[in-house]
């Protein structure tokens, strides 16, 4: 194997390993990212605000909190919240659920979304 081929292979392995590590997200960085959400969402059970409480989000379907007024679009979306569906929603809420009431343009960075979701997986239990 040529030196350049070994260097290329080593670089590729390093990049793949770094990508796999980022796929899980960093909860500490995610806590800081939650600041973008905290103006509208709370983490405590039954603590609805402008947006619904995020407590238990990964164990429910969209539009299920009885004492929160969801948009008709969110109620009929059929979404079950998983890390994957939340990632898609946070990326572009209007694209995943057109006509929902969340006035948020989306979080463009996949790494930021992964960090936020890692934080939410712990903080919303």
Write out pLDDT tens, residues 88-106. Answer: 999 999 999 999 999 999 9
Identify the bridge partners of residue 8 per DSSP, sorted by sequence position.
none
Write out pLDDT tens, residues 35-85. Answer: 999 999 999 999 999 999 999 999 899 999 999 999 999 999 999 999 999
Rounded CA separation 113/98 (Å): 20
Q: Which residue has the tokens 């909190």?
A: 65
Q: What is the pTM of this model?
A: 0.80
Rounded CA separation 124/104 (Å): 20
Domains of the chain: 26-123 (1.10.760.10)
C-alpha count within 13 angstroms, C-beta hemisphere, residue 118 = 19
Tokens of 99: 């006509």
């Amino acid at each position: 194997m040529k030196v350049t081929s070994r260097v290329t292979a080593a670089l590729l392995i390093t990049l793949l390993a770094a990508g796999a590590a980022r796929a899980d997200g960093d909860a500490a960085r995610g806590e800081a990212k939650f600041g973008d959400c905290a103006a509208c969402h709370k983490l405590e059970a039954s603590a609805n605000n402008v947006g619904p409480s995020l407590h238990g989000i990964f164990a429910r379907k969209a539009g299920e909190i009885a004492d929160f007024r969801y948009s008709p679009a969110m109620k009929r979306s059929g979404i079950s919240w998983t890390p994957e569906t939340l990632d898609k929603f946070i990326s572009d809420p209007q694209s995943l659920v057109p006509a929902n009431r969340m006035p948020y343009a989306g979080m463009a960075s996949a790494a930021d979304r992964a960090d936020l979701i890692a934080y939410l997986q712990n903080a919303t239990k």
